[in-house]
Amino acid sequence: MTDAWDPSVPSHKELAHLLEIGNGIPEMRPLRDARKAFTSVGLKIEHEEDLAERPDAVPWYYPLEGDLRKAQTPWDLVMVWRTSWSGKIVTHTGLRFLEMLGLVPKGTWEVCETLKIAGDALVKGGQTKVSRWSRWHGTVTDGPTAVHADVPGDLSQAVGGVTQ
């Protein structure tokens, strides 16, 4: 969750819950917790950037949004259509039919419904800037700057010996 996320705001809390359900995540945590984890193990944050905040005419969540006007290539058109209202109807009805025929395992339709929750929540999080999928937040660290008693040996060995 971005720094804009506030657990005391009911809509923010609901969004986090939908992301947890849809993506099978036990608990969504804010970026400030990630920063705290980096520094608690002796890493110094040199640079961090929310790549989703870079200026772009098309937002990162466009394939999940279902807005055909944002498709950039013929393949994009197919990808975006799958998440449009008509694409969801066709996909989910077809999947339900295949499940009834026994051509896909029982429970596949329920998994697809859960993934629909995930997609919708990711779009809402992107639109409100309350959440990003983790690959959109880049962090460059330098370290370790300290050795902790709870980490066997020094921290560089604990992370595969990679240090700067």
- Could you give the CA distance from residue 64 to residue 22 in angstroms, rounded to a whole number? 13
Q: Pick the range with the lowest mean pLDDT from 1-5, 106-110, 150-154, 160-164.
A: 160-164
Find the helix or strand (DSSP H, E) in which 141 lies: strand 137-142
pLDDT in tens, 113-147: 888 888 888 888 888 887 766 567 778 888 765 55
Secondary structure letter of residue 84 according to DSSP: S
Overall residue count recorded for the chain in this entry: 164
How far from 20 is each of 27, 29, 66, 68, 121, CA to CA, in Å? 6, 10, 22, 27, 9
Residue range 55-66: average pLDDT?
84
Res. 150: pLDDT tops 70: no
- Please tell me the predicted confidence (pLDDT) of residue 54: 79
Res. 160: pLDDT tops 60: no
pLDDT in tens, 5-59: 888 888 888 888 888 888 788 888 888 888 888 888 888 888 888 877 778 888 8
- Please tell me the predicted confidence (pLDDT) of residue 146: 52
- Please tell me the predicted confidence (pLDDT) of residue 93: 93
Max CA separation in the chain (angstroms) = 60
- Please tell me the predicted confidence (pLDDT) of residue 163: 37
- Could you give the CA distance from residue 62 to residue 112 in angstroms, rounded to a whole number? 19
- Please tell me the predicted confidence (pLDDT) of residue 130: 79
3-state secondary structure of 49: strand
Mean pLDDT of all residues belonging to the chain: 80
Taking the model in full, what pTM does it have? 0.70
pLDDT in tens, 98-108: 999 999 999 99
Closest CA to 125 of 140, 49, 134: 134
